[in-house]
Amino acid sequence: MFKILKKSKKTNARLGKLKTSHGEIKTPFFMPIATKAAVKNISAAELSDLGAQIILANTYHLYLQPGEKIIKSHGGLHNFLNWQGPILTDSGGYQVFSLSKIRKIKPEGVEFQSHLDGSKHLLTPEKSIQIQQDLGVDIMMALDVCPSGQAEFKEVRRANEITFDWAKKCKKEWQKSSRNQLLFGIIQGGIFKNLREESLVQITSLDLPGYAIGGLAVGEPRDKMFDIIEYICPQLPEDKPRYLMGLGRPEEIVFAVKQGVDMFDCVIPTREARHGRLYQFCAQKEKGAINILGNLAYKTLTATNEKYKDDFEAINRDSGVKLLQEYTKAYLHHLFKINEGLGLRLATLNNLEFYLKLMEKIREGILNHKV
Amino acid sequence: MFKILKKSKKTNARLGKLKTSHGEIKTPFFMPIATKAAVKNISAAELSDLGAQIILANTYHLYLQPGEKIIKSHGGLHNFLNWQGPILTDSGGYQVFSLSKIRKIKPEGVEFQSHLDGSKHLLTPEKSIQIQQDLGVDIMMALDVCPSGQAEFKEVRRANEITFDWAKKCKKEWQKSSRNQLLFGIIQGGIFKNLREESLVQITSLDLPGYAIGGLAVGEPRDKMFDIIEYICPQLPEDKPRYLMGLGRPEEIVFAVKQGVDMFDCVIPTREARHGRLYQFCAQKEKGAINILGNLAYKTLTATNEKYKDDFEAINRDSGVKLLQEYTKAYLHHLFKINEGLGLRLATLNNLEFYLKLMEKIREGILNHKV
């Protein structure tokens, strides 16, 4: 299922491949976000042209809208959004805690009110797996409790307990079905090393196909986050894929790859695109350049900046996307000024291409022992 | 420049071709609207794939944003929005009267406050032509005064006077330049037949390359509108292209073609797309079908309608657009429910394809004497 092809001699980075029922994925990889079964502002065909290997959707959102039963009758999530590559869904735990204002954790699951219409729901570990089975995704995540980055020791310890209990229940529910889906467990523990270690021992004891580090980039100090990644990664089982949830900026991804992380997802490329911020590779000495890897650097371009109003250069002359080669920065600036959807699409294409190329460069780097 | 290839034996419909500096256009034709140099929610490449022959942009909007000088330095509007086919711009008269709350007609032009930032501007006939020259469009419209559909006789008569005066000034300004642009005059006159006739005599006396009927579909009763079209069309010069501004629903376009109109523009396909209303050809006996031409009928589909939530049929199986063949109505319904930009794009592609196909069917109909 997961195979390491090469290990870096310089860092803990690994090059590998992950087999799913919708194809094999080269690791380390990045998953564009299609929370509600749509990568905002672009089509699945465009995503495929960009070279995306796998996308991420969300159990909580799809359960509420349009409902997993509709997607199941549609032949599954792949058919619904017309994407034939692998799909991973988050379990919905994080969304219940971040979106639903009224929620109550009970031993059997989490009771919450829909952020859409206020209707009451109970999400149990079993239910979360059943939904993800109905969606027919390739990788399912176990239901977890994700405390905020400011949570105190006691709260995080309690979250660990429930997360472990639910993970066991998820595993049991998953094993009932013979479908070709992978189940990943999520390690919590906040910024407390001993709680991280506790959660790691608990979750990895379940011998699941893969493990995720959850509960990071949720409001904790940045140095603590790096600290935890550095601390926890070497302790994860070598032979299982490692997924760092919700991260991050390019330099954060590079950092985590060096610690041995294989999988990433993040809203940054798509969300920042909507604010007109474009990520582009550049020369290391260029103004505003952020160096990330050997001689690799990037900068961001803010389309709404007045200086682009008469910049007749291509949006991205190095892009493989024709639209980004053909349209100019001046036109992009204009599109953002008039709030035109095409602008969001161009920026999204630009940023996802950047993130996907970044992962490609990282994989090349590992191969050549430069990472 | 304009050539009639065939006249219907059944009606006053004409089949022809119009030569512009960016290519020849088959008439009758429909112009998708790119008011602010962008057809909302789709790219110029998609527009081209749909078979659009020509698009329409707006002098008023582009003068204010980004400014015609920026577009001129960009190599003209064609380069700016990356569309190499013909472009027609409206003169800005209509927009000054509909968008700017504070405006004053003076003999030399119209003084108005920008609807964007309140800045004061004077749009003269000369200035309107200069802007359109800077934009580098293929067909320019003369600056006119367009009274509302409720305007009284006196106001409309006064509008005629100024419109004629400005048209003469536009012609003079246009003749100064040797560029390969066509200038069309606009006939006003509201719902008053004698004023329509007056304006027609005045404007056509200028011997311009083409003539438009303006001031219709601006709030007058529908039967009056049809009445005026029917009355004025036969009086227009036979050998010049005839443009009916701002119309209309498919059945209105068919009606006007039969009166001898060659050119159309309308916000309906793009605007209704944004409300999730899709135009599709259908069998004549289908529920909700509107018959328009021989055995040609259409209906509209409202994507937000609950009945589509589990409709797993293609959005439009007869479409030449892959996205419309591949995505289902259930997915489109979902996209509109979650306010996703891809939904607007799919609906826009659907409606523009419909309008462009409608014109194709109309041209075939004239050829076969069915229109």
Minimum distance, in Å, between the CA of residue B181 and any CA atom of chain A: 24
Of the residues A90, A134, A138, A144, only one is catalytic, namely A90
Task: Note whether B335 contacts A70, CB cutoff 8 Å.
Answer: no
Q: Which residues from B are below 8 Å from A70, CB to CB?
A: 309-310, 330
Task: Note whether A65 contacts B310, CB cutoff 8 Å.
Answer: no
The 3-state DSSP class for residue B28 equals coil
**Model-level pTM?**
0.97
The Cα–Cα gap between A92 and B94 comes to 52
What type of residue sits at position B75? Answer: G
Average pLDDT on A27-47 reads 97
For residue B80, what is the nearest residue in chain A, using CA coordinates?
A331
List pLDDT tens digits, range B147-200.
Answer: 999 999 999 999 999 999 999 999 999 999 867 999 999 999 999 999 999 999
Average pLDDT on A159-171 reads 97
List pLDDT tens digits, range A256-283.
Answer: 999 999 999 999 999 999 999 999 999 9
pLDDT at A287 over 70: yes
Choose among A100, A88, A20, A10: nearest CA to A55: A88
Q: How confident is the model at residue A127 (pLDDT cuts 50, 70, 90)?
A: very high
* pLDDT value at residue A97: 81
* pLDDT value at residue B10: 93
Minimum distance, in Å, between the CA of residue A56 and any CA atom of chain B: 17
For residue A44, what is the nearest residue in chain B, using CA coordinates?
B323
Residue from the list B41, B323, B330 with its beta carbon closest to the beta carbon of A74: B330
Q: Is B265 a catalytic residue?
A: yes
The Cα–Cα gap between B306 and B104 comes to 48
For residue B269, cis peptide bond before it (omega within 30 degrees of 0): no
DSSP string, B268-327: HHHHHHHTTEEEEEE-TTSTT-EEEETTEEEEEEETT-GGGTT--SBS-TT-S-HHHHHS
Name the percent of chain A lying above pLDDT 90.
92
Minimum distance, in Å, between the CA of residue B45 and any CA atom of chain A: 8
Strand pairing class (A23-27; B210-213): unpaired
pLDDT at A178 over 70: no
pLDDT at A93 over 90: no
The domains located in chain A, with CATH, are 2-266 (3.20.20.105), 272-367 (no CATH)
* pLDDT value at residue B178: 65
Choose among A114, A87, A74: nearest CA to A33: A87
Q: Which residues from B are below 8 Å from A41, CB to CB?
A: 340-342
Task: Note whether A75 contacts B335, CB cutoff 8 Å.
Answer: no
Average pLDDT over chain A reads: 96
Phi, psi (degrees; rounded to nearest 5) at B191 = -100, 15
CB of B144 closer than 8 Å to CB of B186: yes
Minimum distance, in Å, between the CA of residue B14 and any CA atom of chain A: 36
pLDDT at A185 over 90: yes
What type of residue sits at position B263? Answer: M
Task: Note whether A337 contacts B82, CB cutoff 8 Å.
Answer: no
Q: Which residues from B are below 8 Å from A58, CB to CB?
A: none
Q: How confident is the model at residue A102 (pLDDT cuts 50, 70, 90)?
A: confident
Task: Note whether A38 contacts B323, CB cutoff 8 Å.
Answer: no
- Count CA within 13 A, CB hemisphere, residue A18: 28
Size of interface A-B (CB pairs under 8 A): 106
Phi, psi (degrees; rounded to nearest 5) at B328 = -100, 165
Best B304, B338, B346 member to test A by mutation, with max A CBs in 10 Å, is B338
List pLDDT tens digits, range B269-302.
Answer: 999 999 999 999 999 999 999 999 888 999 999 9
The Cα–Cα gap between A189 and A168 comes to 17
Q: Which residues from A are below 8 Å from B328, CB to CB?
A: 74, 80
CB of B236 closer than 8 Å to CB of B262: no
Minimum distance, in Å, between the CA of residue A82 and any CA atom of chain B: 7
List pLDDT tens digits, range A320-365.
Answer: 999 999 999 999 999 999 999 999 999 999 999 999 999 999 999 9
Q: Tell whether the torsion through CA atoms of B259, B260, B265 and B270 is positive or negative.
A: positive
Q: Which residues of chain B have pLDDT under 70?
A: 178
List pLDDT tens digits, range A202-230.
Answer: 999 999 999 999 999 999 999 999 999 99
Residue from the list A42, A73, A338 with its beta carbon closest to the beta carbon of B310: A73
